[in-house]
Chains A and B, each alone.
Chain A
Amino acid sequence: MLGENGAGKTVLMRILYGMHKPDQGQIFVDDQEVRIDNSAKAISLGIGMVHQHFMLVPSLTVAENIVLGLEPTKYSYLLNIDKTLKDIKSLSDRYRLQVDPKAIVSTIPVGIQQRVEILKALYRRAEILILDEPTSILTPQEVESLFEAIRALKQQGKSVIFITHKLKEVCAICDRITVLKKGKVVGTVDRTQTNSDALAQMMVGREVLYTFERKQVTPGKIVLKTESLNASNDRKLPALRDVNLEIHESEILGLAGIEGNGQTELVEVLTGLRESRSGKISFLGETITKTSTHRRIEKGFANVPEDRQKTGLILDFSVLENLILGRQDKPPFATKWSILDLSNCSKFAGQSIEEYSIRTPSEHTLARYLSGGTQQRVVIAREFSRKPKFIIASQPTRGLDIGATEYVHTKLVEMRDQGCAILLITADLDEMFALSDRIAVIYEGRIVALKERSETNELELGLFMTGGKCG
């Protein structure tokens, strides 16, 4: 099932899983018309779903999560742990989904958590498995093992609905492909009778720009430099170990890595939200290790955070109010008595809405009511209109459709061409290669590789990202 963000894939799947009521129409399972009023009904019909955001209890073990609600019992009240473990063992052997049943879910990587979700569905005797964008959070290696598992499922006679907006994956794993656009089926094709260009054409109705023109710009002087930077995470464990980075003018430095290897902490330390334990950060030659977030913004920092709804925007603030965040205390937005100058704010909001094509009914609309892509435009408008010298962009296109992604990419390169130093943190290797001038890999808080873009490839990066163990 292929489609852009907002094409209606998830809604359709939620209907199949009984989480959403259709207005009209019929659903057939094994040629029988069925009514699916709730998830329990869906499960009893043999439909299983792996949500984009997992529905696991983090503090329980893998085994407990899999059997949750259907626990095998002894003497009808005691948990039959042996039987549970045996059942799970046989399931995971059959479908090549290896898990450690006794591990606590919160301690295992997302790739394994996903396996747990799949096993959970299989344990409920699912014949039809719905996987909602299963690869969006996986590393290349994890994706490969997921595909292996899907092939095993297929061999055992299961049907799998694989939802994605990545063409590569569709070509790699699917037999038939249904393309959805704006809530309508554009068509269903056999994989053997199509190619990725044709699919992209169906998906967006226009040729997609995979690459775009990049001017050759020679990087200038060092803008941001870190020297043996060390920092801890929230649990007081070391998260950054001796990080040395240099980012130049007119340069995009890509930072690749599996999530949770210190990227979040690095961003927080660089923006002044987290204290470093040791090391030095300098900005245009000036030490700023202890400088506040506010002062750093004044000096020319911009941050496009990973989670635009939690960190990037104040959802219950209007577009206007969001646009002035970070400059609410300075002219032209505030007078010297710290009273907001509403007419200047409004003028600025109008300009930004036009310049960054923010699709909003008005500047007073709450950010909450905007689509994901539009919300990201608000963040970008706010950060880039400050004329920053250094930009941190974390997962800047996560969850955005192709059009919005293209926009973000164009803007980032535009800023680079104008002389900005940019640190790009992304899990999407295509994006990494499309934008970066140099690519660094972070693994367990350490920079394990630093390469010119032209001197490396996805496979090599994937190896560095996983510590070189898999391959």
Chain B
Amino acid sequence: MGRKAIQARRVNELLLKIASSLPPTVVYQADKTRSRVRSFVTSFPIKIGQNLKKSLRNSIPQIVAIVVAFLVGAVVLAATGYSPIDAYTRLLMGAFGDSYGIGQTLAQATPIIFTSLAFLFAFKCGLFNIGAEGQLLIGGMAAALVGISFTNLPIYVHLPLALLAGAAGGALWAFVPAVLKAKLDAHEVITTLMLSYVALYVTSYMVNYPFKAPGIVAQTPFIAPAAELPRILPPTQLSGSIIVALIMVGITAFVLQRTTLGYEVRAIGLNATAARSGGINVKRGMILALVISGTLAGLGGAGEILGVERRFIDHFSPGYGWDGLAVALIGGLNPFGAVLASILIGALRSGGLVMNRVTGVPLDVIYVVQSLVVLFAAAPQLMKSLSKKRAVNWQTANHILTKIRSVLKKVGDRLRRR
């Protein structure tokens, strides 16, 4: 503590010395800036506090969904003969208990942040982009190709170029359904979904034939070191990709709430007729929204390749694109909510592994809980009524729960005896 105080005083003295040697106008300017910064900083916590209160109130259904999902998961655990408390403690400790756990949790969350943003952006425009998986794969492939194609570029050129390529790849993959939608009224659910399969097999072909690295595994050679996103918390898989992701969260939220583009996108999503009548070019808005959505997913793919895999491995994505849809819903279709929901899913994944290793609880239980969260979050009306105290008849609920528990226990016992 003493050392820190001394350091701070030294810095202060140094600053004072510099300040006194500066011409008065500069000092005046600096003073003004400082007071501005201070007023901003002091007002910030209040603003955040107000917003937090509001968003907490808005996210009650989501929170209830998560709690209910864990409760039902506990029943499943108990029924199959495991201690829910023990399992959940391990899960929690595994996900957040040490820096390794936290790193892995965030690493798992990173690609899902991108894909949930992607789903969310298109959704705000009233479009269901369920093809984030394909956009992510193409983005990843584009980034990988840029990564392996150049060997002597400096990092400040190569890395941004690779990221841009990823973004462009995702954008391109979303542009096709966007144009089909705008010009031919082809439903984006079908086109984005189908293009996901095309992406899956196109990338599979590319790593199996033209860009295959020597060896048995279907994968490209390693990308050049200059294209790598640095790891943040080795030995975990957490990489600079999460920083890109968080920047994108900020940009997405800003674009949606504070720009003309975001205004138009939301207007189209809420009422396309009124938007058109108000002079908004609906087709253009839809194309832009889908392309931006694809860009976000493509960046997510690039982040995984440049930060984690360092090469394109066939089937590297365990379905990040599909997770994005669910996570966007759990996050209440809000960019910041999407981050929290992504971290939740990331924690389930990384903590689940630990839980599995220590307690022997099968990973499937984790997937059950994850699915339940999505299921309950997708029924906001149900959760809203559950979150109203009056609507919950605890006695009945308890009764039903004990019934379910006894039935499941019998089934579990029988299964184990076999």
List residues of chain A with CB under 8 Å of any chain B CB: 271, 273, 292-294, 296-298, 303, 305, 310-317, 321, 324-326, 328-329, 334, 338-340, 342
Contact partner of A314 (CB less than 8 A), chosen from B258, B259, B261, B270, is B270
Query: Can you list 5 A-B contacts with CB-CB less than 8 angstroms, sorted by A residue number?
Result: A298-B279, A305-B277, A317-B267, A325-B275, A325-B280
Contact partner of B261 (CB less than 8 A), chosen from A273, A312, A325, A338, is A338
Question: In the docked arrangement, what's the CA distance between A342 and B263, Å?
Answer: 12
Q: If A321-B263, A338-B261, A340-B258 touch, does A310 touch B271 (CB 8 Å cutoff)?
A: yes
Give chain B's interface secondary structure class.
helix
Contacts of B259 in A (CB 8 A): 334, 338-340
Question: Do the beta carbons of B258 and A339 come within 8 Å of each other?
Answer: yes
Contact partner of B274 (CB less than 8 A), chosen from A271, A310, A329, A338, is A310
Contacts of B274 in A (CB 8 A): 310-314, 325
Q: In the assembled complex, how far is the CB of residue A367 from the closest CB belonging to chain B, in whole angstroms?
A: 10
Contacts of A273 in B (CB 8 A): 276-277
Contacts of A326 in B (CB 8 A): 278-279
Closest B residue to A342 by beta carbon equals B258
B50 CB-CB contact with A under 8 Å:
no
B33 CB-CB contact with A under 8 Å:
no
Contacts of A313 in B (CB 8 A): 271, 274
Given contacts A325-B274, A325-B280, 18 further A-B contacts (CB under 8 A): A273-B277, A294-B281, A297-B278, A297-B279, A311-B274, A312-B277, A314-B267, A314-B271, A315-B270, A315-B271, A316-B271, A325-B278, A326-B279, A328-B263, A328-B264, A338-B260, A339-B258, A340-B263
Question: Do the beta carbons of A314 and B275 come within 8 Å of each other?
Answer: yes
Question: Do the beta carbons of A311 and B280 come within 8 Å of each other?
Answer: no
List residues of chain B with CB under 8 Å of any chain A CB: 258-261, 263-264, 266-267, 270-271, 273-281
Question: In the docked arrangement, what's the CA distance between A340 and B261, Å?
Answer: 9
Question: In the docked arrangement, what's the CA distance between A339 and B262, Å?
Answer: 9
Contacts of A310 in B (CB 8 A): 271, 273-274
Question: In the docked arrangement, what's the CA distance between A296 and B266, Å?
Answer: 22
Question: Do the beta carbons of B267 and A303 come within 8 Å of each other?
Answer: no
Question: In the docked arrangement, what's the CA distance between A303 and B279, Å?
Answer: 11
Contact partner of B273 (CB less than 8 A), chosen from A311, A328, A329, A338, is A311
Contacts of B278 in A (CB 8 A): 293, 297, 325-326
Contacts of B279 in A (CB 8 A): 292-294, 296-298, 326
Contacts of B277 in A (CB 8 A): 271, 273, 293, 303, 305, 311-312
Question: Do the beta carbons of B276 and A316 come within 8 Å of each other?
Answer: no
Closest A residue to B262 by beta carbon equals A340
Q: In the assembled complex, how far is the CB of residue A34 from the closest CB belonging to chain B, in whole angstroms?
A: 30
Closest B residue to A345 by beta carbon equals B263
Closest A residue to B263 by beta carbon equals A328
Question: In the docked arrangement, what's the CA distance between A349 and B153, Å?
Answer: 52
Q: In the assembled complex, how far is the CB of residue B257 from the closest CB belonging to chain A, in whole angstroms?
A: 8
Question: In the docked arrangement, what's the CA distance between A290 and B334, Å?
Answer: 39
Question: In the docked arrangement, what's the CA distance between A328 and B271, Å?
Answer: 16
Contacts of B280 in A (CB 8 A): 294, 325
Q: In the assembled complex, how far is the CB of residue B289 from the closest CB belonging to chain A, in whole angstroms?
A: 15
Name the 3 nearest CB pairs between A and B, nearest first: A294-B279, A325-B278, A338-B260
Question: In the docked arrangement, what's the CA distance between A329 and B276, Å?
Answer: 14
Question: Do the beta carbons of A329 and B260 come within 8 Å of each other?
Answer: yes
Contacts of A325 in B (CB 8 A): 267, 274-275, 278, 280
Q: In the assembled complex, how far is the CB of residue B243 from the closest CB belonging to chain A, in whole angstroms?
A: 23
